[in-house]
Structure 1
Amino acid sequence: MITIKTPFGPFSMSGDGTSVTAAAFADDPQPLVAGTPDGPVPQAAVDAVRAYFDGDLAAVDAVPVVWRGTDYLQQCWKVLREVHEPVTYTRLAELTGRPAAVRAAAQGCARNQVGLFVPCHRVLRTDGSLGGFRWGLDVKRGLLAHEAAHRP
């Protein structure tokens, strides 16, 4: 496990030597997934997080991640990795190919175990309000403002 200081507090990651297995805006990502390997975090992941906070928003996109969940949750997380601007939960469900699965898409955000690398912070309510975020609305608001300031 490694913890990096960010403008939004500590960001901790666990790995398996080649991928990030858990990541959280907290001192310890392990509560996210019981039994998640707590091995070495790839240096590329550390470098990518630092680059992201230096303004290179795409730096985290190529970092390999491991996730555990149903087929739909995995599809949701895959789609989230391809979303580079804020979307609504409804739009996320559409992008997964299941437009009626808005609640399931919301569960994809709630059960995300590799925060930042799977950018669930980019998902908003239909009215544009923030909705929830596992690590607090101040962190979500801060991440969205950071991205708006650095988006080309």
Structure 2
Amino acid sequence: MIAAQLVPTPVGPLALLSREGTLVAAGFTAEPKEMFVRLTPALQAEGLEVADGLGSAMEAVRAYLDGDLDALDAIPVSQPGTPTRKRLHAALREVKAGTTVSYGELAVRAGLPKTAARAAGSACAQNLIAPFVPCHRVLPSSGGYGGYYYGVPVKEWLLAHESGGIANPR
């Protein structure tokens, strides 16, 4: 069974979906089913159940919002993908809070220097576990914020929070 929980954040609810203590999806939505339908058919076959507490993931989000910007790093995650996508997602988890990289730099960090920035962009677009796999920390080399699955205002807030520009109003 996939367990789901909503955690309030200053930019809206964060849906957490977990299977046996490992996050399989997370995203800024009030409806966990929006994340559930993005899972593999095998995971969807397990069903979805709203839970009261997902323990460490929920506590990590609260700690992150309270200023422990590394709190999300300790939570185990699992998402499908090709070996290239998995390397890019692993490299994303190594990008420290308060810093950003370009899509091309992400490919280099993943040990894929010949991979086009487009592959890094695709890995970010297909990321199912935001902000634990912090695709919000990737910016286009041409400037600006680029896109973000949950909207540029959420990306801007996350980056400002991580750079110390926002105090959590909780």
Kindly provide the CA deviation profile for residues 72-105 of structure 1, in whole angstroms up to 9, marking residues without a partner as x: 1111111100101110001001111112321111
CA distance in 1, matches of 2:40, 2:20: 18
Matched residue, 1:19: 22
Shift in Å at residue 31 of structure 1? 3.1
Q: Which of 77, 97, 102 is matched with 1:88 structurally?
A: 102
SS of the counterpart of 1:23?
strand
- Equivalent residue number for residue 147 of structure 1: 162
The answer on whether the counterparts of 2:92 and 2:134 sit within 8 Å (CA) in structure 1 is yes
Instruction: Output the CA distance in 1 between the equivalents of 2:89 and 2:125.
Output: 11
Tell whether the 8 Å contact from 1:21 to 1:113 is kept in structure 2 after alignment: yes
| Equivalent in 51, 60, 68 of residue 63 of structure 2 | 51
- Please give the residue correspondences for 1:77-116 in structure 2 after superposition, counting only pairs within 5 Å: 77-84=89-96, 85-101=99-115, 102-116=117-131
User: Which runs of no fewer than 5 residues in structure 1 stay unpaired?
Assistant: none
**What's the % identity of the aligned pairs?**
39
Number of the residue aligned with 2:84: 72
Q: What is the CA deviation profile of residues 1-30 of structure 1, one whole-angstrom value per residue up to 9, with x for unaligned ones?
A: 100110010100111121011100002221
* Count, aligned residues: 150
TM-score by structure 1 length? 0.92
**Does 2:130 align with 1:124?**
no
Match of 2:5 among 2, 14, 22: 2
One-letter code of the match for 1:7?
A: P
CA contact (8 A) 1:88 1:128 kept: no
